[in-house]
Structure 1
Amino acid sequence: MYQTSDLALSSKRKVLSYVEALYQFSDALHGPGILDDALFSIDVETLGELLEAYFVSIRNQPNINETAQLRWQTAFRFVNDIIYRLSKSNLPVSQLQVIKGRLDHLGTLYSQLRIGKKRTQDSLRALPSTVVEALYKLLDPVASDNPFRDATSRWRAFLVFILLLHQGLRRGELLMLASDAIKHGVDSKLGRDRYWLSVVENPYEDEDQRYSIPSIKTVNSIRQIPVSELTARIVQGYVENYRGKPAHSYLMNSQRGSPLSAESVTKLFQKITASLPASVLKDLKDRTGKISISAHDLRHTCAVVRLNQLLNQGDSMDEALQKMRTFFGWARSSDMPRKYARAVFEDRLASVWNNVFDDRVVVLRAIPEHKG
């Protein structure tokens, strides 16, 4: 029995009416008994679908008030408490661990949702697939409508886009990279080449003359992250054919032969945004509330997709979040991964990017399909 014994009679009736509303909604959606069946079999996937649908149904009501939030909180606590109680039965330790992981997964995705809450700066969202597809087409160095005039400028913009989107770098980290930041070795166990990116301060430069000097954000930001062979080839192609031979050792070189600046990256994305079709910009605003694209939007997109990749390959939420901290350079105590976990739910990603991010079709299919 769901615990209501400590409540006053009127409050108890209200709570039970909210639980009954969840049952009625579930029955109408998938047929009688679906909620009990999912609870007693601890079918977290089905429970997640029911909770999501119930949340959306409440949020879509014409009048959102405090009662709507209480309905949602009661529904979530009810599901969570029932599963917790069932897990206390005489189950093998291994199965209890699996159930605990599923409870943590549900809690991370659903417990923080607020009915009618306006999105704040803490609400992180991947760019819509339509926007990312448009960026791929626009920034293709051989595209006829590429907004950058010469081959060097096109390849510079394309590399900025690839490293921010595929590797999830911060803008400052990108601008700190040395020209030999991509490392290569042979994996003796797998018998194949592997590539990685060293995100560290440039070891070859003692002084940086740029107005806004880029830096490594924290000690946790110093890291090595895997890179696909395709990305490594793109970087190498830029270095050998378009970077030139400037007097500095930074990877990203400006048109004037100086290290690329933060201000130049900002202007680059302003130009990219201005070159996108009106329909794409409308989609961007409708789905994210934004009217322009920034370098950090690509990091957000990478983070949301990476988390889905880890969850879909079978990692528990705790394991996935810890790997996220390593990949994106967050402190162990950082709450950033959990913010992205909420974004994963809100964007309802249907699939994930390929491990090496090589297949453009896979990339585009993995971007959130927002439901209006």
Structure 2
Amino acid sequence: MLKIKSITLNNSNQLSLLFDSTTALPCLYPMFYINSSLKFKSESTQQAYLQGIKQWYEFWREKHNQSFCKYFREYKSNPELMIKEVDSFILYLENMQEIDQKLIRLGSNPSINYNTLAHRLRAIISYLSYLLDTFSQVHGKSISPEIARYKSILSQKSDLVKNLSSNHHKAHKNGSNFKSLTEEMKKALYSIISPKAPEPLFKGKKAQLRNFLIVHLLLNYGLRTGELLLLTLNSIKADSKTLNTYLLITDTHDKTDVRTTKPQIKNIQSVRTILLEKSDAQFINMYINNIRSQDSENHMLFLSLQAPYSPLSKSGFKKVITVMNEKMKSMYPQYFDTNYIDSIDKISAHTLRHTWAYMMLKHSYESYLSTHNRAKAMENAVESLRKMAGWSRNSTMPYLYASRFISENANLANIQRITRVDTHYE
């Protein structure tokens, strides 16, 4: 049996590995792959890739009655079988992890999330490509024609990943179109989490205030979950000249963090400095002085409200979001009704980040329009969003996260065009 476990390194970073329960040792080649290619990625990213590799190993064991590591060690100079089995692996995933030699299906199983399947396939293509690059050729010698051909086949499989993901979106075309909240939805959300809400959502005034601050920071500054949970008392810094207050987003490696599964910064672009609005800075200081336990010996910003006042865990954070989501669904079911084009599936931390991205892009675009044409205004707005969100220059995430605004903007431009044409013919 295979299990995914995390270990803590000397620098407090988390490294996820695939373990064989029989030997209690990590699987050899996945360990090399994670340590070489993914050790600087977040724990969640490492585990997402390992899920695909784990399923590949289970598939290989069931079909060939041997460990994939053993197979590759013996045939690494000509691993033709592993390339041939990629397509069989896709069918294996579509068939709910059951091997059926007669199965012919691609993108047609209504019970399968093809977006998830695409992620698993992307992970295994990356892993197999790493094996070919690292172990299937002699260092210092030119690549053999066979290995070059295998690498080309794997590269072509990447197109299949895109098709599978596309099929997933088509299969869910009757679902919600966007991941962000409308302005009306946002106001409704604030009405139930506000410290002044007529019926507090959380038990106790302190819980309501703390959780309001958490949601407010996610909505106002687009923080990722890991970034929020990594905030410490030292993350809030003032500027001596302007007296402005900033939020430092970085991987703190704080030794007082006693959580078993520690959050991590996603990548190097995530490290950034965010200017806080003055009232938000005041609210954070109020939370620190009046709500956050003064008896806690750790430095994390968000703590449990009960002794021993441990740092807020991922599961604790998820409970806050779950309670909020369930309340919104009970009070505002229309926001989740798929009959409406602007409906949403659920409210999650991801939803709040999408919402921030939408509002940020819209505000920046409208600001740039006063001095730039539409194309340049959008380009500048996207660049601003990249920097604020912690994305690399080549990332397409700004367009994904702000899809609601881009769609609205395109539709508005089309309506304006139609209106001008109709006026012309009057």
* Pairwise TM-score range, normalised by the shorter structure: 0.5 to 0.7
Aligned twin of 1:368: none
Match for residue 311 of structure 1 among 341, 355, 365: 365
1:212 corresponds to which of 261, 272, 279: 261
Aligned residue type for 2:358: V
The answer to whether the 8 A contact 2:179-2:344 is kept is no
- What TM-score, normalized by structure 1, do the two folds share? 0.57
- Alignment match of 1:336 (pick from 379, 397, 403): 397
Aligned counterpart, 1:150:
204
- The alignment's TM-score, normalised by the length of structure 2, stands at 0.50
Distance 1:335 1:122 in 2: 21
CA distance in 2, matches of 1:120, 1:322: 32
Residues 332-360 of structure 1: CA deviation (Å, up to 9, x unaligned):
2111012235331224599xxxxxxxxxx
Q: Which of 372, 376, 383 matches 1:322?
A: 383
- The structural deviation recorded for 1:133 is 1.0
Q: Percent of aligned pairs with the same residue? A: 28
Local SS of the residue matching 1:316: helix
Partner deviation per Cα, 1:201-222 (whole Å, 9 max, x = no partner): 236x226432331000001101
Give the RMSD, CA atoms, in angstroms: 3.1
Q: Secondary structure at the match of 1:183?
A: strand
Q: Is the 8 A contact 2:361 2:402 kept in 1?
A: yes
Q: 1:254 aligns with which of 298, 301, 304?
A: 304
Q: CA, structure 1 residues 193+326, in 2 after alignment: closer, same or farther (shift >3 Å)?
A: same
Instruction: Give the match's secondary structure for 1:313.
Output: helix
Check conservation: 2:391, 2:397, Cα contact below 8 A. yes
C-alpha separation in 2, matches of 1:174 and 1:121: 30
Change (3 A) 1:282 1:124: closer
> How far apart, in 2, do the equivalents of 1:339 and 1:121 lie?
17
State the number of aligned residues: 233
Q: 2:244 aligns to what?
A: 194
In the TM superposition, what whole-angstrom CA distance separates every residue of 1:237-273 from its partner, at most 9, and x where no partner exists?
A: 1001000121110000112300001111111111112
Aligned to 2:104: none
Equivalent position SS for 1:302: helix
The separation in 2 between residues aligned to 1:349 and 1:270, in whole angstroms, is 34
How far, CA to CA, are the matches of 1:341 and 1:264 in structure 2?
A: 28
Structure 2 residue 302 is matched with structure 1 residue 222: no
**C-alpha distance in 1, partners of 2:217/2:175?**
24
Structure 1's unaligned 5+ residue stretches are 1-115, 351-372
Alpha-carbon distance between aligned partners in 1 of 2:256 and 2:175, rounded to the nearest angstrom: 34
2:184 alignment partner in structure 1: 130
Please give the alpha-carbon distance, in whole angstroms, between the structure 2 residues aligned to 1:124 and 1:334. Answer: 19
Q: Distance in 2 between matches of 1:300 and 1:182?
A: 24
Residues 284 and 248 (structure 1), Cα distance of their counterparts in 2 relative to 1, 3 Å cut? same
Alpha-carbon spacing, 1:349–1:148, altered in 2? closer, same or farther (3 Å): farther
Q: Secondary structure at the match of 2:334?
A: helix
Residues 169-211 of structure 1 show CA distances to partners (whole Å, capped at 9, x for unaligned) of 0011000001232222255xxxx542221001236x2264323
Please identify runs of 4+ aligned residues in structure 1 that moved more than 6 A.
120-123
Measured after TM superposition, the shift of residue 296 of structure 1 is 1.4
1:291 Cα deviation after fit: 4.3
